[in-house]
């Protein structure tokens, strides 16, 4: 994976860890754990992907794969997961072959899935009944952040469990922050996505306006990125939006999943999100244009 092998790691005591889910994010995250010296056992629904991961990291501390989540976690002090949604998360944690049935008492489950705050609280409570700890810990930084080991991690759950897991989590992160009780990490990720979507739409409209006015938008972006309009999206996606390049990781389908989660939460807590609700429909338009796998900066396609 790009840049996975160039990160500098904090010196920590090697731990026995498991990683469940080797998708676009999980594969490099698990790799950073192995490269940091931890003994990693992986599980993936497609066993061939787990074998490929083990082959890539065979020179680290004896990587292994397991056939089920329960088998993957049996010796682990820390279990990490990154899967698709609430149902996927329940499928790897609950039931006779789920992780909770195999974890040893006192072990800590750190979930990096972007999921609902409700499922985080549900699994936190289920873990407690079995003498386990559960931290909801969604991430920001996208595929590049996972590959480079510089993710931002937003955590909810018990402070002592968070402190125990923080140093291990730093293997693939640049910031790991405890934000409060169970569910707080997922709620913070929702705030992140609200802000990201709004910035992308503003950037899209600015670029579309400038091009219509006959400006050299590459030059304009160089200028305004040094002023109050500056943002991560402008620095990293502005010029690619100008030239219709939309293959940079975080897909429209994933953003719509995240927006659905936060709009559901807003209906529960009474928050008013008129712009975000509109942007959810704009992303639906992009899906209808065939852009399900385009990255989220493709909002500009609606304006052309």
Asked whether residue 2 is assigned to any structural domain, the reply reads no
Let me know if 211 is a catalytic residue: no
Position 5 in a domain = no
Same domain, yes or no: 215 and 111 = no
pLDDT of residue 140: 95
Q: Is residue 8 part of a domain?
A: no
- The 8-class DSSP code of residue 156 comes to B
CA dihedral over 266, 272, 276, 281, signed as positive or negative: positive
Q: CATH number for the domain including 257?
A: 1.10.1040.10
For the residues of 253-272, what is the DSSP string, one character each?
Answer: HHHHHHHHHHHHHHHHHT--
pLDDT of residue 5: 57
- For residue 102, give the CATH number of its domain: 3.40.50.720
pLDDT along the chain (304 residues), means of 10: 62 90 97 97 97 96 95 97 97 98 98 98 98 98 93 98 97 98 98 98 98 98 97 96 93 97 97 98 98 97 94
Q: The tokens 């996505």 sit on which residue?
A: 193
Which of 181, 206, 233 is at the close of a domain? Answer: 181
237 and 195 together in one domain: yes
Q: Nearest Cα to 166, choosing from 156, 176, 158, 157? A: 176
State whether 171 and 212 are in the same domain. Answer: no
Q: Let me know whether 156 and 243 are in one domain.
A: no
User: What's the pLDDT score for residue 249?
Assistant: 79
Answer yes or no: do 119 and 168 share one domain: yes
Total of domains in the chain:
2
Catalytic residue among 49, 104, 189, 304: 189
Closest by Cα among 245, 244, 237 to 211: 244
pTM metric for this prediction: 0.94
Range of the domain at 161: 16-181
Candidates 72, 68, 90; CA nearest to 134 is 90
Using the 3D structure, point to which of 151, 181, 211 is the last residue of a domain.
181
Give pLDDT, residue 168: 97
């Amino acid at each position: 994976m790009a840049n996975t092998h160039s990160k500098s790691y904090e010196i920590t005591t090697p731990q026995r860890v498991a990683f469940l889910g080797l998708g676009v994010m999980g594969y490099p995250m698990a790799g950073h754990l192995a490269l940091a010296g931890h003994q990693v056992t992986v599980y993936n629904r497609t066993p061939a992907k787990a074998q490929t991961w083990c082959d890539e990291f065979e020179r680290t501390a004896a990587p292994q794969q397991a056939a089920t989540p329960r088998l993957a976690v049996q010796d682990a002090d820390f279990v990490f997961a990154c899967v698709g949604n609430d149902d996927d998360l329940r499928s790897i944690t609950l039931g006779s072959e789920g992780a909770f049935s195999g974890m040893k008492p006192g072990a800590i489950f750190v979930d990096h899935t972007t999921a609902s705050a409700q499922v985080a609280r549900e699994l936190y409570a289920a873990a407690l009944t079995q003498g386990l700890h559960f931290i909801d810990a969604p991430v920001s930084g996208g595929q590049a952040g996972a590959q480079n080991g510089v993710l931002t991690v937003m955590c909810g759950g018990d402070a002592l469990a968070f402190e125990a897991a923080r140093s291990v989590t730093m293997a693939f992160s640049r910031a790991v922050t405890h934000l409060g009780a169970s569910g707080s990490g997922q709620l913070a990720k929702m705030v992140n996505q609200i802000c990201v979507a709004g910035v992308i739409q503003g950037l899209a409209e600015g670029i579309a306006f400038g091009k219509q006015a006959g400006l050299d938008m590459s030059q304009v972006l160089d200028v305004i990125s040094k002023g109050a309009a500056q943002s991560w999206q402008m620095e990293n996606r502005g010029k690619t939006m100008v030239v219709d390049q939309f293959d940079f990781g975080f897909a429209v389908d994933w953003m719509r999943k995240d927006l659905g989660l936060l709009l559901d939460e807003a209906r529960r807590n009474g928050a008013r999100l008129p712009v975000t609700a509109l942007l959810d429909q704009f992303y639906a338009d992009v899906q209808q244009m065939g852009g399900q796998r385009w990255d989220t900066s493709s909002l500009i396609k609606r304006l052309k």
